[in-house]
């Protein structure tokens, strides 16, 4: 099946391309922009004319939409870019997918929830508390409105396969530790760090499951199952980096800047009931990752 991945140069997109490329069942093409090099296709998704031209010519049977302005602080600082990429591009892609009868798998976020009543099921009420979350929810609504054949996959904070310390908000902790040889880190919000290779496997499993169950559609959640604050993550990384634990300090009040949910833990049971899932150890993964970047 012809399959196109948007955001193929990004943190998650790279993992998805790698995982789906292992399967004989998919003819995979990746789209990127600023960092796209062959065999990836360079395409500015924010150019609506080019977007529709490409997809109408290529007619992929499956679209995995990973591209997004994904950092809440960047989204707040660049609201117009965030709105266009996270909402308008998603809306146009959903309309184009519907026109071609293509299956659209849209990557969304746990930040569509306010973090006050975890764990969140797929049918829990949404209530984003920052601009990034509101754009991802608007993207979801555009998919539901336009697509007949879709999957919305909500995910939490991601790491894995980072090209440099600081590419993800998780390895940014390591970059700060390295620079300051310690520091203070948020110990207020609980997060569930999730490895991109695990998510990529789940994406593949969803697509393979759908091949034999073509009515599979709707909203799903996937998440790592280990709760950490950023302070607790910093302690793990400090140990790996040889930085004394006593130089790492908890900050027990909400962090400044963009408001974030206190705990937006995702309930993954809808996928687990289908026999779909992949969860790996944060300590093991982050140790291996930090030794490579």
- CA 123 to mean position of chain CA atoms: 19
What pLDDT is attached to residue 92? 98
What pLDDT is attached to residue 230? 98
Domains of the chain: 2-159+196-223+265-279 (3.40.50.720)
Q: 233-277: per-residue pLDDT in tens?
A: 999 999 999 999 999 999 999 988 899 999 999 999 999 999 999
Dist CA 137 CA 201 (whole Å): 24
What pLDDT is attached to residue 257? 85
Total Cβ atoms within 10 A of residue 22: 11
What pLDDT is attached to residue 265? 98
Q: Which residue positions in the chain have pLDDT lower than 50?
A: none
Strand partners, 3: 28, 62
- Residue from 4, 93, 69 nearest 40 by CA: 4
What pLDDT is attached to residue 273? 98
What pLDDT is attached to residue 197? 98
């Amino acid at each position: 099946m012809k399959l196109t991945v948007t955001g193929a140069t990004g943190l998650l997109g790279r993992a998805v391309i790698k995982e789906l490329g292992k399967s004989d069942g998919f003819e995979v093409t990746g789209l990127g922009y600023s960092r796209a090099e062959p065999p990836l296709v360079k395409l500015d998704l924010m150019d609506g004319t080019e977007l529709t031209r490409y997809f109408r010519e290529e007619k992929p049977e499956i679209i995995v939409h990973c591209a997004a302005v994904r950092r809440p602080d960047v989204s707040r600082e660049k609201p117009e870019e965030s709105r266009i990429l996270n909402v308008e591009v998603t809306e146009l892609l959903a309309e184009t997918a519907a026109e071609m009868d293509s299956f659209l798998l849209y990557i969304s976020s746990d930040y569509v929830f306010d973090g006050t009543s975890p764990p969140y099921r797929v049918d829990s009420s949404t209530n984003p508390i920052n601009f990034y979350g509101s754009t991802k929810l608007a993207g979801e609504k555009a998919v539901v409105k336009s697509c007949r054949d879709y999957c919305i996959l909500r995910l939490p904070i991601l790491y894995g396969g980072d090209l440099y310390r600081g590419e993800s908000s998780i390895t940014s902790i390591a970059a700060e530790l390295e620079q300051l040889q310690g520091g203070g880190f948020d110990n207020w919000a609980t997060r569930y760090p999730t490895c991109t290779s695990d998510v990529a496997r789940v994406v593949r499993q969803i697509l393979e499951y759908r091949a034999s169950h073509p009515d599979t559609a709707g909203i799903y959640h996937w998440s790592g199952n280990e709760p950490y604050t950023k302070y607790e993550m910093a302690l793990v990384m400090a140990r790996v980096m040889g930085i004394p634990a006593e130089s790492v300090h908890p900050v027990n009040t909400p962090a400044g800047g963009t408001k974030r949910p206190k705990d937006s833990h995702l309930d993954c049971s809808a996928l687990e009931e289908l026999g779909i899932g992949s969860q790996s150890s944060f300590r093991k993964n982050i140790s291996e990752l930090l030794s490579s970047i």
